[in-house]
Amino acid sequence: MELVLALGIGILAGSGVWLLLRPRTYQVIIGLSLVSYAVNLFIFSMGRLRVDAPPVLGPGGSGSAIYVDPVPQALVLTAIVIGFATTALFLVVLLASRGLTDTDHVDGQERR
C-alpha cells in the first residue's frame, strides 16, 4: 500500500508541476489542483498508513495499536477547504484576465 500511495503522490505531483509550468491559465489551474491533491495525500501519509483503524478511541479502548493518528486527517480537511477556496478565487482571476486581455496566456499576451 505504501508503494501505491507513494507512486500516486509522485504521479500527481509530477503532472501538476509539469502543468504549472505551461503557459495557459487553464493548464496552470489544473496543475494547481493536482499538486494540491498530491500534498493532501502526503499530509495524510504522515499519520502512518493503517487499514481498518478508526481515528477515534472506541469505548474502553486504549493504546495506539487500534487507532490511527487523527491530527493529519484534521489537517488534510483544513488543507482541502483552504485549497479549494483559493483555487476558486484563482478561477475568478483567470476569467478576469481572459476578459481583459482576450487571451488565456499567463502573461496576458501571446509570445511573439
Partner 1 sequence: MTGGWTVHLMVVPILLPLLVGAVLLFVNERRRRLKAAFGAASSVVLLLVAVALLRFADLPTEAGGVATGVYLLGNWPAPFGIVLVVDRLSALMLLLAAILALPAQVFALGRWHRAAPHFHSLFQFLLMGVNGSFLTGDLFNLFVFFEVMLAASYGLVLHGSGRRRVKAGMHYIVINLVASFFFLVGVALIYGVTGTLNMADLAVRIPAVAPEDRMLLEAGAAILGIAFLTKAGMWPLNFWLPTAYAAAAAPVAAMFAILTKVGVYILLRLSLLLFGEGAGTLAGFGTTWLTVGGMLTVLFGMIGMLAARSLGRLTGYCVLVSSGTVLAAIGLEDPRVAGGALFYLVSSTLALSALFLLVELLERDLEQPEDEPDQVFADVEEDLEDEEDEVGVPVPATLAVLGLAFVGCTLLLAGLPPLSGFLAKFVMLSAALNPDGLGGGGQVSWQGWLLVPLLIVSGLVTLIAMMRAGIRRLWAPPEPIVPRVLIREAVPVAVLLGVGVVLTVLADPVMRYMTDAATALHVPTSYVETVLGKERLPGPRSAPSP
Q: Which is nearer to partner 1, 58 or 108 (CB)?
A: 108
Q: Which is nearer to partner 1, 3 or 64 (CB)?
A: 64
CB of 60 to partner 1, least distance (A): 19
C-alpha cell at 77: 480537511
CB of 59 to partner 1, least distance (A): 19
As a whole number of angstroms, the longest Cα–Cα distance in the chain is 70
Axis crossing angle, helix 25-45 with helix 70-101, rounded to the nearest 10: 180
Do the beta carbons of residue 110 and residue 103 sit within 8 Å?
Answer: yes
Contacts of 36 (CB under 8 A, 6+ apart): 16, 79, 80, 83, 87
CB of 4 to partner 1, least distance (A): 19
Q: Which is nearer to partner 1, 3 or 100 (CB)?
A: 100
Residues that bind partner 1 (CB under 8 A): 20, 25, 28, 32, 35-36, 39, 42-43, 46-47, 69, 71-72, 75, 78-79, 82-83, 85-87, 89-90, 93-97, 99-101, 106-108
